[in-house]
Structure 1
Amino acid sequence: MADPSTATAPACPGPDPDPRPPAMRLPAGSVDCHSHVFGPVDRYPYVANRGYTPPDASLADYRRMLATMGFDRAVIVQPSVLGTDNRATMDAVAAMGGAFRAVVVVDPSISDAELRALDAGGARGVRFNLNNPGGLPLEAVEAVARRIAPLGWHLQFFADLNLRPELVEVMRRQPVPVVIDHMGHLRPERGLDDPGARAMLALLGEGTAWVKVSGAYRCSSADIPYRDTTEIARALIAAAPDRVVFGTDWPHPDYRRPMPNDGDLVDLFNEWVPDAEQRRRILVDNPARLYRF
C-alpha cells in the first residue's frame, strides 16, 4: 500500500541485501542489541510526523542477516516512524520464542496492565529518540521513568551529545538505568576533549549508565569501514566495560551515504575489541544482564 505521507517524509534506502560473513566468528550466544523491523505498512502504518519513510525490512530478512553474522539473539528497538504503536516490534519479538527482546516507546499515560503485558512480551526499556520527528519529547522523561521503574526497565536515549552535552545531567538524575545508543553520536573530529564527550565519559564512569557501541557509520566522517571512530569506541568501552553492548542498527534507516554491509560493522567491532574475553563480555554477558535473557 502506498503511503500518502511520503511526500513530506522522504524515502530512505534499505540495507545491503547481501550481508557477508565477518572475518572472525562471533562467540556463541552473541546478541545484536540494536535493530529495527519495518512493514508491511498496511499492517503497521507509519506516523505522519516522521523524518523518513523506510522500505519494508522484514523479520525474515533480519534473521538471515543475524545468521550470516553469527548472532543468536537480538533486541528490536521501536523506531520513531512507528510512534507509540509497538505492534511491529513486539510481534517480531513474539515470533522468536524468547530469543529476542524489545525497547519500546510508550506514552506516560499508559496503563499498568499494558506495561505488564509489554514486560511479559519481552520489553525491557523505553527509547527517547531526540534526533528524529516522531519520538517522545524530552519533557516526558521523568514521568516515563517513574512508570517503568517498578519493572526494572531502562531508558534509552538517541541524542547528539556533542551538540547537547546538557542532556547528560538529565540522564544522571533518572531513577532507572540509562542506555546511550549510537555512541552518543560523538564525532571523531571533535575528539574526546569535547564537552559532550567528557560529560558522557564521566557519566559512564559513575557506574549506572550503559552505552551501545553501535552506529559507527552515523558518527564517522570517513568512508567504510569507519576506522576514525576507533578512539571513541575504545574510550567508551574502557569507561564502562561491564555496561557496554554492541548493535548493528540493521536495516540502517534514514542513512543516505553509501550503505555499509553488516559484515563491515562486525569486523570493525572486532578490531575495536581484540581481546576475546572482552568481546564475549560485550556480545554475550552484558546483554544477558541488561535485557534479562
Structure 2
Amino acid sequence: MTTVAAKTPGWLDWYRGPSAPAFRLPPGTVDTHCHVFGPQAEFPFAPERKYTPCDGGKEDLFALRDHLGVSRNVIVQATCHGADNRAMTDAVRAAGGRARGIATVRPDVAEAELLALDAAGVRGVRFNFVRRLVDTSPKDDLRAIARRIAPLGWHVVLYFESADLPELEGFFGSLPVPLVVDHMGRPDVTQPVDGPGFSRFLRFTDTNDVHVKVSCPERLSVGGPAALNGERHAYTDVVPFARRVVEEFPDRVLWGTDWPHPNLTDHMPDDGLLVDHLPLIAATDDLRHRLLVANPMRLYWPGEPF
C-alpha cells in the first residue's frame, strides 16, 4: 500500500474553475508545456523530490485541454517524479495519439527503456539547471544522455535561469541534438527588453538550433495578474519579451500552459486568462498559427497534416 505524503506547506493547488477564454484558439493548438502529478496513490512521487504537490492527473489535464479548446498536449516530466516516467507515459498513452512526452532519464538508462519511451510517445528529455529544484546538473552525465537520445531524433528541453546563461551557453551549444528552452530562459522583466541580458539570450537562440517556449508569464511577471483598464490583459510586463521572441523567431516559438503550475507561491493563474494573453504576444493570425499549431506539429508530429 502506498503511503500518501502531505503536500508541501503553503502549496498552492491548481485552480479548478478556470474561466472560458475570450480568445478562441485556432484548430489544432498544441499545449507544449504541461505536467501530471500522480495521482500519488497510483504513481508515487520520487523520494528525492524537492516538493510534494497536490494530485493533478491525466483526467484533470484532459478536462482542461477540452475546456480551453486545445487539441494536443506535450506532457513534460515533473521533477517531483524524478526519473520514474510512468505517470507521464500513462497520460501520453491515454491521450490516444493526442499527446507526446518529455522524459527525465539517467545516464545509465537501458537502451530497452529508451526504445519503450519512444514507442510510448516520448520525443525528448529535460535538463533542469534551476538549483532550487535539483541538487546537481552534471554536464558530463547530461552530455552522455544527449548522445544516447540523438539516434532517436529526440531533443533536449532546457530549464535555467537567465543569470546562468553565460555559464551554460557553451555547454548547451555543444549538445548534439536540437534544443527547446522553457519560459524564454526566465528573463528578468524589470530590465529593458533590449538590455544585455535578454539580448544575450536572443543571440544564443539565433546561433543555435533552438525552439523557445513563450510560456509562464505568471512566473516571470512582477506586475502579476491585474487587469489593464478593466480588460483581460494580465502579465503585461512580460509582453515585450515574448512578443520580441515571437517576431524574431516566428518558426521556432512554442506555447504552453504549465498546468498544474508547480511551485508558485504568490498566486495561482486562471488558465483561461493565460489563453487570453496570447493575442498580446502574437499579433497576427499568421503568427498565432505558427506559434500554436505549425511549429509544435512539425516538432512533435512531423509528417502529420495540420
Place the TM-score, normalised by the shorter chain, in its bin.
Answer: over 0.9
1:268 shift after superposition: 0.7
TM-score w.r.t. length of structure 2? 0.90
- Contact conserved, 1:11 with 1:54, CA < 8 A, in 2? no
Work out whether residues 168 and 200 of structure 1, in 8 Å CA contact, stay in contact via their aligned partners in 2.
no
Return the match for 1:265 from 250, 255, 274. Answer: 274
d(CA) in 2 for partners of 1:138 and 1:266?
A: 36
Distance in structure 1 (CA, Å) of the matches to 2:9 and 2:48: 12
Equivalent position of 1:95 in the other structure: 94
Matched position secondary structure for 2:97: coil
- Secondary structure in structure 1 of the residue aligned to 2:125: strand
Cα deviation per residue 1:79-110 (whole Å; 9 max; x = unaligned)? 11100000000000000111000000001111
Question: Secondary structure at 2:163's aligned position in 1?
Answer: coil
Residue 43 of structure 1 and its aligned partner are, at CA, apart by 2.1
Q: Distance in 2 between matches of 1:135 and 1:123?
A: 25
Distance in 2 of aligned mates of 1:11 and 1:42: 21
Q: How does 1:248-287 map to 2 (within 5 A)?
A: 248-287=257-296
Percent identical among aligned pairs is 41
Looking at structure 2, the residues matched to 149 and 12 of structure 1 have their Cα atoms a distance apart, in angstroms, of: 37
Q: Deviations over 1:165-214 (max 9, x none)?
A: 32222211111111110111112112334544222201221251111011
Q: 1:234 to 1:138 in 2, by over 3 A?
A: farther
Give the conservation status (yes or no) of the 8 Å contact 2:173–2:208.
no
Q: Using the alignment, how far apart are the partners of 1:11 and 1:86 within structure 2?
A: 26
Correspondence for 1:189: 190
* Alpha-carbon distance in 2 for matches of 1:227, 1:135: 33
Contact in 1 for aligned 2:215/2:256 (Cα 8 Å) = yes
Displacement after TM superposition at 1:50 (Å): 2.4
What one-letter code is carried by the residue in structure 2 that aligns with 1:259?
Answer: M
The question of whether the paired residues in 2 share the 8 Å contact of 1:158 and 1:184 is answered with yes
CA deviation profile, 1:94-136 (whole Å, cap 9, x unmatched): 0011100000000111122211111111101100122243477
Residues of 1 paired with 2:245 and 2:171: CA distance?
A: 19
Query: How far, CA to CA, are the matches of 2:197 and 2:127 in structure 1?
Result: 18
Is contact 2:5-2:52 (8 Å) kept?
Answer: no
In 1: Cα distance, 2:155 partner to 2:5 partner: 35
**What is aligned with 1:66?**
65
Question: Mean alpha-carbon deviation: is it higher for 192-201 or for 213-222?
Answer: 192-201
AA of the residue aligned to 2:133: P
Aligned to 2:242: 233
The 5 A counterparts of 1:130-279 are 130-131=129-130, 132-134=132-134, 137-139=137-139, 140-206=141-207, 208-224=209-225, 225-279=234-288
Give the AA of the match of 2:250.
P
Aligned counterparts of 2:65 and 2:116: Cα–Cα separation in 1: 27
Aligned alpha-carbon RMSD (Å):
1.8
Aligned pairs, how many? 291
Q: Which runs of 5+ in 2 are unaligned?
A: 226-233
Q: Which residue does the alignment assign to 2:51? A: 52
Tell me: CA distance 1:234–1:135, structure 2 relative to 1, closer, same or farther (3 Å): farther
